[in-house]
Structure formats: structure tokens, C-alpha cells
A = this chain, B = another copy of it.
Amino acid sequence: MKAYRGDIVFAPGPGELTTLQNGAVLVAESGVVQQALPALPEGFEGEVVEYGGRLLLPGFVDVHAHSSQLPICGLGYDESPTSWLERYTYPVEKKYASPAYAAALNRRLVYELWENGTTRAVLMSTTSASSTQNLMEQLEQSGLSAYVGKMNSDFAGFGGEANETTAASVRETEELVKWALHRGEKVKYALCPEFIPCCSEEAMARLGALAQQYGLPVHSHMAEGPEDVAVVRRRFPKEALYARVYNHFGLLGQTPTIMAHCLYATEEEMELLQSQNVMVAHCANAILNIPSGRYLPVRKYLAKGMRIGLGSDIGGGHTLNMPRNMVAAIQVSKLYPEYAALTVPDVFYLATKGGGSFFGKVGSFEAGYQFDALVVDDTALNEGTGYTLAERLARFIYCGERQNIQHRYCGGTEIHPPRP
């Protein structure tokens, strides 16, 4: 048993903060939290790790990012979404077919996740199986935890040509799934159909069968804008709605599922997602960078008890830094005054325990949770002041830099990936 001492903050629920000034988190050898306490228990006999005066927070969880789009973050947002895809997104994804390029950029991605305090991520790779495999290997070596999948994109339903054949898409996915089966616990495969407009019926049916056969999670996009919604309606006039199509193919909660965006989802679709325990990835910076005219009323769906996490959505979002994505989520929520705005404790919950639930008991310091933790030296943010822990959390989220993070733990282990 170890005790980690520090100024502890975690969010057991949306808008709820537990704060323990100079408290202690007791962690078993297994890396699982036993208890978070306001003080070190008298006569504690285990090792004490002293982070006094520093914030001790759960690690951040990013539930939607495109691993290959780190190099294009910030590019093309002045252009139309179509031009952005054609000029930046597709070309950079093709580059990942080069093993040397993929290895170098994957190394940078892993390092930047770590640097920004993201200890768990749900990543959609490119159609390239080798780059996906390389990413999974590098993540394993880093000690970070992730769900990763090769993107399946075998249908030309959204302009341009299909990115791969149906046969190759399915075969490579199945090979990767089998390769990934007997690896460690921290990095696992999740099926990643790009989105319905770019997936053939055959591929979706085969992916649904794989999900069932291997118990694989699903990670995809849904109803991001009016255009993709219209394409789905045309191609599938019987189901008409995105969620019904995914559901038809066994890709909507039959196994743990994340759907990114859902901005143009109907009430009926959102209810279907909720009843099938699907998590929605809310990607606020993508909404601000490439607006489609709608926002996800997170407050409304949290009140209904939906599962929601935050996604950086790089490269639609421009940063892996989850605090900046939390700020964007608050800012976006204020644009729609029909719902109360999200608060710091809300978005902190979403970026820790909210998204963390996709990984099991992750994102909190409650008993039974994986010890994913960040040690944050916020001294420079607090000069001459006497802030509460809730205020220090807000200051770190709004004004902190990744350099404020001194240590990162995932599953009880301190992690240090190689510098790129």
C-alpha cells in the first residue's frame, strides 16, 4: 500500500467536487485506489509519496481524437469543411502509410498526450494497419492507456474516392483485432468505422459481427452536420436516422460505444443512444473551429443521465490539452442561454470520471478506481493569494500550462514516454 499526499480534487459527479487539502490517496499494489482521506491515517505503515502543496487530480481522459491529425491541428480552419478535408485531412492520413513517418508522428502524439496530462485516450487511427499497430505498440511502451482502432473507410459516400477496399478494410481489421487480443490490459482495440457515409453496408455488418465475436468497443462519429445526416437519410431511407443504421449493424451499444459529436441527432436518436448506454464525445473546440450551426446541449443530456465525455477531436479541435478543451466546453455552453452554462466542476467531471467510465473505474479517487493521477505544481498561479482548492482547480484549468504538471500516473504507475 502507498499513500499519495497532496491537495486532492476529484469530481464524483457532474458539478460535484471532493476537495481534501493536504489529504491522502491510499493505493494498493494493484494500482487501485483504496480510499481518499482528509489526512494520512495515524500509524500508516506503507510508503508515503509526498506531494504536499501540490494539486493531486485524476488524469484526463480524451474520448475522441484522430491520432494522425496532430500535424494538421490549426490548419485550414479558414477554409470550408470540404476544402479542409481535401487539403489537409486526407493528405496527412495518407502519409501515415509510410512506417517511418507514422513512427515519428506517433511518438510525438504519445508524448504530447502525456505532456498534457491525458492518461487515457480513445483514438481513431488512419486506414493504415501498420501505423495503427505502431501506435498501439508505442502507447503500450509509454504506460498510457488507450483504445485504438484502424479507421474503416471503404465507401465513397461523402465525395472523393473510398480510402480502401471493403475486403482489405475488413481483413486488416480482423488481423489487427487478433494481434491485439493477447496484449496488455492498458492498450486495446476499438473498432473505428469512420462514419456511415464512408462505410459500406458489408463493412458495417462485418464490423458489427467482429464487435460481437470479440467483445470489441466501437468508436465512431454521428450526426456532425446537416450534410452527413442527409447522406445517411438518402442511403438508408428505411432507417433514415444515423442511430438506427448503426444499431441495425450492431454498432450502437451492443458493445461499449462512443459516438462523437451528435450535434444533429434527433431526440429519438439521443434516447436510443441513452437506452443503449452509448457515450457521446463532446468536442467543443471542433464546434468552434469548424462550426456546423449547432451545439450539443450537454447540460440537458447530463440531467437526463446520459454518458458524456470530452474529446479533443484533433485535428477539428486544435489542441490535445484537455484543460483548454474544458474551457472551450464552458465557453460554447454559454452561447445557448436556454440551458444553464457548464461550470468548472462540470467539465472537470466530464474530462475525468465522465469520459473515464469508458475505461471502467477510471477518472476518480473513489475506492476501487484505477490510480490515474496528475501532480500539478500551481505555485506560480497562486502567488500572494489564499485560494480554495476549487479556485486552484479553476485557475489551473483556465490559466495553467502543461509545464505545471510534474508527475503523471496511469493505473498506479508513474509514466515517462520517450521524448520525440
Contacts and interface: CB of A to CB of B under 8 A. Distances in A.
Number of copies: 2
Contacts of A21: none
Interface string A343-356: 11000000000000
Contacts of A380: 108, 420
Contact of A74 (B101, B288, B341, B399): B399
Contacts of A403: 403
B398 A74 contact: yes
B288 A105 contact: no
A383 B420 contact: yes
A105, A327, A401 — most chain B CB neighbours (10 Å): A327
B384 A101 contact: yes
A53 interface: no
B319 A385 contact: no
A138 to B, nearest CB: 15
Interface residues of A, number: 42
Contacts of A401: 401-402
A108, A319, A394 — most chain B CB neighbours (10 Å): A394
Contacts of A291: 334-335, 337
A329 to B, nearest CB: 11
A314 B335 CA distance: 20
A331 interface: yes
A391 B91 CA distance: 15
Given A327-B318, A343-B78, A401-B401, A73 B335 contact: no
A225 to B, nearest CB: 14
Contact of A383 (B77, B104, B397): B104
A78 B347 CA distance: 11
A270 to B, nearest CB: 23
B101 A395 contact: no
A391 B399 CA distance: 26
Contact of A394 (B74, B335, B344, B398): B74
Nearest to A334: B291
A130 interface: no
A154 B105 CA distance: 58
Contacts of A289: 330-331, 334
A391 B76 CA distance: 9
A293 B327 CA distance: 18
Given A104-B383, A385-B71, A398 B331 contact: no
Nearest to A289: B331
A75 interface: yes
A347 to B, nearest CB: 10
A321 to B, nearest CB: 9
Contacts of A327: 318
Interface in A403-420: 403, 420
